[in-house]
Chain A
Amino acid sequence: MRSHTFCFAALAVAALLFESLRFLENEYLFFAGYVVLQYVVLATAWNILGGYTGYVNFGTAAFFALGAYTSVAAGKLVALPIPALMLAGGVISGVVGLGMGYLTLRLRGVFFAIATLALAVVVQTLITNWDFVGGSRGAYTIRPAAVEHFGSYVQYLFLVMLALAVIALTIAHAIEGSRLGYGFATIRDDEAAAEASGVPTLRLKLVATMLSGALMGMAGAPLPYYVTYLDPASGFNLAYAVNSIAMPLIGGMTSWVGPLIGALLLGSIQQVATVSNWFGGRPEINLLIVGVLLILFVIAAPNGIVGLLGVETRRGGRR
C-alpha cells in the first residue's frame, strides 16, 4: 500500500472514531482514549528503533518527559498552542536522541540499552533539581476551558493525540517498504554485513534514534494540559518504559501493526482495570500484568500477536 493511500485510510478511520465518540457523549471515553492513543504513539515510536533496527531503548520516559517539561517551560514564557508545543517537544527530544545516539551507538547494542537507562535517570535528576519547572514539587498547568468547534478541552487533546497517532503510524508504515526500512532490517540482522554491503549503519541508527525520540517527545508535549499537575514522579513513571517495550513486543515488532495492536489491547486492559477495581484496585496490579505478559511473550511468542496470527509482514521475515 502506498503511503498516501495509507495516510488517507488512517485519517478516515480516525475521523470515524472521533465522531463516534462524540456521538456517545461520554467524556470519560475521551480521557481514557487519550491515554491509549498516547501509548499507540509511544509504542510505534519505540518500535522504529527497537523492532526495526534491533536497538532496545529503556529510556522512553526520558524522551517523553522532555516533551512534557518543554511544554511546562515554554508555557511559563509564552502562551503557545498545543501543536506548536508538540513541535518544540519533538525538536528537543529529537536533539537529545541524536546527541545520545552519537555518543553511544558506536558501541554494542547492549551498551546502548544500558545507556538509555542511564539517560532516563540523569534527565529525571536534572529536571527534579530544576526549580523553574517546579522541581520535585511539581508544576501546575491551567487547562483552558474550551476550544472553538470542540465540546471540551479534553476532546481537543484527544483529537491532537489522534492526529499524532496517525502521523506516527504513517511514518512507521512508510519506512517499512522503503530503502530506509531495508537498511534498518540489515542493522537488526547483521550490522557488520550491512556495513560491508555499503549501508551507513551509524547514520541510519542516528536517524532511527532521532525519529523515535522526537515522536516520544511530541507525545509528551500535551501531557501537562491533560494532567494539569505534573511532577517528576509521574512524568518519569516506570509505566511508560515498560509499556513502550511490552506493547510492541506483545503486539509484534516486525511491522507497524504490532505496536498498534499491542497498545490498543494493553492500553485498554489497563484503563478498564483502573476503573473496575480488579484485585482490590491496587494500581500496581496493572503493571504486574503487563510485566508478566512481557516475560511470557518474549519467551514463548517472539513475534507477538502478529506472529501468532500468522500475518505475513512486508519483508516476509521473522526476527
Chain B
Amino acid sequence: MLWDPQLLMNAIMSGVLLGGFYAAVTVGVSISFGMLDIVNIAHPAFIMLGSYVAYLLNGSYGLDPILASLIMLPAFFLLGALVYQIYFVAFERRGQESLRGLAFFFGLLFVSEVGLILAFGVDYRFVEAPYIGPSLHLGSIDFPLRMLIPFAVSLALLGSLQLYLSRTFMGRAIAAVSQDPQALRLMAANPTRVKRIAFGLSIGTASIAGALLIVIQPVEPSMGRDYIGRVFAICVLGGMGSFAGTLLAAVLLGVVESLTSTFYGPSWSPAVAFGFLLLTLAFRPAGILGR
C-alpha cells in the first residue's frame, strides 16, 4: 500500500476536523455519563433528531442549519429536562437505574430511530448552505468548509461549556453534584434540580451536534447507531467528564478512523470506534473499575 504523503496529510487533517466534530457529539455524554452517571445510550438519537429538525427548518425557511439548531436549543433543553424527570421518578428514586435505566434509554433510541424512518423514510437527507461545497486550500491540503465550520463551532461549544462549568454557580454545582450531593444540599442547591438542568444541557448540545452532522454529511435514521460506540469510546478514553480529555480522545479517534477509511476502505470505519471501546474497556481499567 503506497502511503502517498499528500494523501496521508489530507487523511490526518480530515481526521482532526472530524475529531473536533466528534467532540461536540460526545460532550453531551461527558455531561450525562461522565458527570451525572446516567447511561444515556440514546444520546445519538437526540442528535439525529437535531439533524432532522435542522433539515426541516432549512428546507422550509431556508434557515442556516447551525443557526436553526441554536434557535431550537431551548426546546431541546426542555426535552432533556423532561426525559430526566421521567428517568428520575421511574428509576433513580427507586434505586434501580442500572438495568431498567439502560433498557429505558435503549427503548428511546430504538423508538426514535423507527419513528424517524416512518416520518422521513430511509433516504438520505441533506441541507443547503453556502459553506457546503467550497474548500480552503493551504498548500497541498484541502480543508472543506463543511468540515472546518463544524470544527470551529465544536471548539466554541466546548469552550463555552467549560467556562459555564467553572465560572457560574450552577455550573460548579453540576460538576459537584455527582461527587457530593449532600454537600450540595447544604449549599442550598437541590441536587435533582441541578441534575435536571445538567441533563437538559446535555440534550441541548445534541441539537447543535445534530446540525453539525447534517452539514458534514447527508443523514439517514440508522446512523445514530454508529455513534453510540464512538461517543462512549471517546468519553471513556477521554477520562469521563474532562472536556480536554474528550477533545483529545475525539481527535485521536477521528484521525484513526480517517486513516482506516482512506487506506483500507470505509466499510471498516464502524469497527474502529467500537474496537477502540472494547480495547479501552478491556485493558485500561484504572478509573473505570467500580466507583
Measured CB to CB, the residues of A under 8 A from B are 50, 54, 56, 58, 103-104, 106-111, 113-115, 117-119, 121-122, 124-126, 128-129, 136, 238, 242, 245-246, 249, 282, 284-285, 287-288, 291-292, 294-295, 298-300, 302, 319
Would you call B114 an interface residue if the criterion is a C-beta within 8 Å of the partner chain's C-beta atoms?
yes
Q: Which residues of B contact A58 (CB under 8 A)?
A: 41, 106
Question: Out of A118, A238, A242, which one reaches B229, CB within 8 Å?
Answer: A118
Q: Which residues of A contact B229 (CB under 8 A)?
A: 117-118, 121
Closest to B111 in A: A291
Are B117's CB and A298's CB within 8 A? no
Q: Which of A104, A114, A298 has the most CB atoms of chain B within a 10 A radius of its CB?
A: A114
Q: Which residues of B contact A287 (CB under 8 A)?
A: 110, 114
Distance A136 CA – B267 CA, assembled complex (angstroms): 10
Question: Out of B107, B277, B281, B282, which one reaches A294, CB within 8 Å?
Answer: B107
Are B108's CB and A104's CB within 8 A? no
Q: Which residues of A contact B268 (CB under 8 A)?
A: 125, 129
Q: Which of B48-56, B60-68, B185-193, B283-291 contacts A (4 or more CB under 8 A)?
A: B283-291
Are A110's CB and B86's CB within 8 A? no
Are B278's CB and A298's CB within 8 A? no
Distance A288 CA – B277 CA, assembled complex (angstroms): 29
Q: Which residues of B contact A302 (CB under 8 A)?
A: 96, 100
> Are A245 and B106 also in contact (CB < 8 A) when A54-B99, A121-B229, A284-B117 are?
yes
Q: Which residues of A contact B233 (CB under 8 A)?
A: 118
> Are A107 and B108 also in contact (CB < 8 A) when A56-B103, A114-B41 are?
no
Closest to A53 in B: B99
Would you call B84 an interface residue if the criterion is a C-beta within 8 Å of the partner chain's C-beta atoms?
no
> Are A107 and B289 also in contact (CB < 8 A) when A249-B103, A288-B115 are?
yes
Q: Which residues of B contact A110 (CB under 8 A)?
A: 39, 98, 102
Q: Which residues of A contact B274 (CB under 8 A)?
A: 117-119, 121-122, 125
Are B107's CB and A107's CB within 8 A? no
Q: Which residues of A contact B161 (CB under 8 A)?
A: none
Closest to B233 in A: A118
Are A284's CB and B278's CB within 8 A? no
Are B281's CB and A111's CB within 8 A? yes
State the majority secondary structure of interface residues on A. Answer: helix
Question: Out of A107, A118, A125, which one reaches B288, CB within 8 Å?
Answer: A107
Distance A113 CA – B96 CA, assembled complex (angstroms): 16
Q: Which residues of A contact B232 (CB under 8 A)?
A: 114
A and B contact pairs by CB, cutoff 8 A, 19 listed: A104-B278, A107-B289, A108-B288, A108-B290, A108-B291, A114-B39, A114-B281, A117-B229, A118-B277, A119-B274, A121-B270, A238-B225, A242-B106, A242-B110, A285-B118, A287-B110, A288-B118, A295-B108, A298-B104
Would you call B197 an interface residue if the criterion is a C-beta within 8 Å of the partner chain's C-beta atoms?
no
Q: Which residues of A contact B106 (CB under 8 A)?
A: 58, 242, 245, 294
Question: Out of A113, A118, A291, which one reaches B114, CB within 8 Å?
Answer: A291
Q: Which residues of B contact A111 (CB under 8 A)?
A: 236, 281, 288
Would you call B90 an interface residue if the criterion is a C-beta within 8 Å of the partner chain's C-beta atoms?
yes
> Are A295 and B98 also in contact (CB < 8 A) when A111-B288, A122-B275, A125-B268 are?
no
Q: Which residues of B contact A108 (CB under 8 A)?
A: 288-291
Q: Which residues of B contact A288 (CB under 8 A)?
A: 111, 114-115, 118
Identify 11 new A-B residue pairs, CB closer than 8 A, beyond the known A117-B228, A121-B270, A249-B103.
A54-B99, A103-B281, A113-B41, A117-B274, A125-B270, A128-B267, A284-B118, A287-B110, A299-B90, A319-B96, A319-B99
> Are A119 and B289 also in contact (CB < 8 A) when A56-B103, A298-B107, A299-B90 are?
no
Q: Which residues of B contact A242 (CB under 8 A)?
A: 106, 110
Q: Which residues of A contact B291 (CB under 8 A)?
A: 108
B145 smallest CB distance to A (angstroms)? 31
A233 smallest CB distance to B (angstroms)? 10
Question: Out of B41, B100, B110, B115, which one reaches A298, CB within 8 Å?
Answer: B100
Are B103's CB and A245's CB within 8 A? yes
> Are A295 and B39 also in contact (CB < 8 A) when A107-B285, A107-B289, A282-B118 are?
no
Would you call B271 an interface residue if the criterion is a C-beta within 8 Å of the partner chain's C-beta atoms?
yes
Question: Out of A117, A246, A249, which one reaches B41, CB within 8 Å?
Answer: A117
Interface readout for B114-129 with A: 1 if CB under 8 Å, 0 if not?
1101100000000000
Q: Which residues of B contact A104 (CB under 8 A)?
A: 278, 281-282
Q: Which of A54, A111, A136, A249 has the most CB atoms of chain B within a 10 A radius of its CB?
A: A111
A296 smallest CB distance to B (angstroms)? 9
Are B86's CB and A106's CB within 8 A? no
Distance A81 CA – B71 CA, assembled complex (angstroms): 61
Distance A111 CA – B102 CA, assembled complex (angstroms): 11
A188 smallest CB distance to B (angstroms)? 8
* B residues 177-230 in Cβ contact with A at 8 Å: 225-226, 228-229
> Are A113 and B104 also in contact (CB < 8 A) when A107-B289, A126-B271, A291-B110 are?
no
Are B102's CB and A56's CB within 8 A? yes
Q: Which residues of B contact A284 (CB under 8 A)?
A: 114, 117-118
Q: Which residues of A contact B114 (CB under 8 A)?
A: 284, 287-288, 291
Closest to B38 in A: A110
Distance A249 CA – B39 CA, assembled complex (angstroms): 19
Q: Which residues of A contact B288 (CB under 8 A)?
A: 107-108, 111
